[in-house]
Amino acid sequence: MARSTDPNTLFQAARSGDRGAIARLLSIVERGGEGSRRVGRIAYPHSGGAYTVGMTGAPGAGKSTLTSAVIGHLRALAIEVAVLAIDPSSPFTGGAILGDRVRMQDHATDPGVFIRSMATRGHLGGLSLATPEAVRLLDAIGRRWILIETVGVGQVEVEIAGKADTTIVVVNPGWGDSVQANKAGLMEIADVFVINKSDRKGVDETRRDLEQMLDLSDLPHDAWRPPILATVGTTGSGVPALWDAVLAHRAHAETSGVLDQRRAYRAGEELREIVANRLRERARQICTGERWDGLTEDVVAHRNDPWSAADAMLDGVL
């Protein structure tokens, strides 16, 4: 089954649990373009049942280790889970992070777990569209819990990390001194804070720092205040409490209407991005040929200004 390249056939196979088919569909999504759009059209009507949990934080904070521990906790409760590890650095399609493979290997043969590292196709516009598409695919084939690991470094990565239904921000003791993470951005998207590597010193100070930052941020009166948990990813200590915090946030988001608001906002953002990408594609198509050359020459020779030339190019297009 998984040998087929027809998205419909692959999708049917994926829905009945064929892991090869899931992997092939994700590769199509990762490549983007028309193939990805076809998969998206097939998957969309079947999606909407999954809940997504983002795990983000500075490089090396222990996101993969924690993710693996969370998977272990969920599997002990007989809950199935899919994991997407977004790799912002690798330009290679299908490039898996070796470290993730090693750390998450324990779960590699468990049919209740699906783990996939996704490369970013070398450009960030790709990442912000590819991630929701991949999530939707996993959703459509029946995965109810989807964990998404991203590195919270730059603004774009943090924005992507914040697109989960519940976002866990992983920090370490001494986080206050670290310059690697986009702190303000992470503060904004956190639903749950976890101080991982709490076997090291400085946990209390870090907790105080976070509490202080939360006090200073003007959370609305009846809003959710992100709880601060402590874990040791390597032993799994604190992981059940971390998961309980995720469940508590989910319950809050569902009953308060925050979840619906977030999802509606995300749908609008995604649509806007799709439209923007289409317009960029269209721009590439029209900015060529004789008329274009003539207009460019006029600008170069100062016979025309670039704005008027652009107006002339777009005349009848928009």
Would you tell me how many other CB atoms lie within 10 Å of the CB of residue 201? Answer: 10
Assess 64 for contact with Mg ion (CB under 5 A): yes
How far from 60 is each of 57, 289, 300, CA to CA, in Å? Answer: 8, 49, 50
In whole angstroms, how close is the CB of 168 to ligand GTP at the nearest point? 12
Stretch that binds ligand GTP, among 12-20, 58-66, 126-134, 247-255 (CB under 6 A): 58-66
Cα–Cα distance between 277 and 283 in angstroms, integer?
10
Q: What length is written for the chain?
A: 318
Nearest alpha carbon to residue 2 among 15, 21, 27, 19: 21
Nearest-approach distance from CB 229 to ligand GTP, in angstroms: 12
Report the residue number, 139 or 149, with the smaller CB distance to ligand GTP: 149
Nearest residue (CB) to Mg ion, 42 versus 96: 96
Q: Which of residues 231-250 bind ligand GTP (CB under 6 A)?
A: 232-234
Residue facing Mg ion at closest CB distance = 64
How many residues bind ligand GTP (CB under 6 A)? The answer is 16
Q: Which helix (H) or strand (E) holds 308?
A: helix 306-314
CB of 196 to ligand GTP, least distance (A): 5
Binding mask 92-111 for ligand GTP (x = CB under 6 A): -------x---x--------
64 part of the interface to ligand GTP, by CB under 6 A: yes
Pairing between β-strand 228-230 and β-strand 145-151 as defined by DSSP bridges = unpaired
From the list Mg ion, ligand GTP, none, which binds 52 (C-beta under 5 to 8 Å, kind-based)? none
Among 61, 138, 147, 228, binds ligand GTP (CB under 6 A): 61
Quick one: tokens of 223?
């809003």
Got the DSSP string for 226-238?
PPEEE-BTTTTBT
Radius of gyration of the chain (CA): 22
CB atoms within 10 A of CB 113: 20
What residues make contact with ligand GTP under the rule CB under 6 A? 59-65, 99, 103, 151, 196-197, 199, 232-234
What residues make contact with Mg ion under the rule CB under 5 A? 63-64
